[in-house]
Amino acid sequence: MNEKRKTRNGIPFLLLLAILSLATCAARRENVGVLPPETAPLSKELVGYGVVSVLYARLNLDPSFESPASGQARIGEIVRVHERRIVREDGGSESWLLVDGESSGWIREEMVDVYENEAQARSAAGAMR
């Protein structure tokens, strides 16, 4: 008889513990928001400014390896970044940037360091030279 009483007294405690656990989990989920994009656009016409970080980069007419060349860019060149696009090809994906500077076209994002403003880009370009 004493064991039944212990069991009955433990049930409300376990029920309370389960409710608190569920409430804690639910509260954590509510705090998780949507992550912002990697770089927010500064305006509809401009994502930011970039500095070419490789010795020589080919600019393409389209965001694709097979696209014809539209120009070239060299290390330290400052470019305006107008668009970022993720392209899925051959089971993988590449991030491309539409830029203009001395030439204009699409360049792989890994070849450019992107900054929020032109002053930051100029400072970074100066450090490369």
Question: Which parts of the chain are beta strand (E)?
Answer: 48-52, 56-60, 69-74, 78-89, 92-100, 104-108, 112-115
Which residue in this structure is represented by tokens 């970080």? 53
If we measure between CA atoms, which residue out of 111, 65, 63 comes closest to residue 84? 63
Q: Are 48 and 42 in contact (CB under 8 A)?
A: yes
| Residue 99 confidence (pLDDT) above 60 | yes
Render pLDDT for 16-30 as a digit per residue (tens, 0 to 9): 666 766 665 554 444
pLDDT of residue 15: 67
Render pLDDT for 26-80 as a digit per residue (tens, 0 to 9): 544 444 444 444 545 445 578 899 999 999 999 999 999 899 999 999 999 999 9
How deeply is 60 buried, as exposed, middle or buried, from its count of CB atoms within 10 A (0-12, 13-18, 19+)? buried
CATH 2.30.30.40 fits 48-128, yes or no: yes
Stated pTM of the model: 0.65
Distance in angstroms (rounded) separating the CA atoms of residues 62 and 22: 50
Domain boundaries, the chain: 1-33, 48-128
pLDDT of residue 90: 80
Mean per-residue pLDDT, 96-123:
95
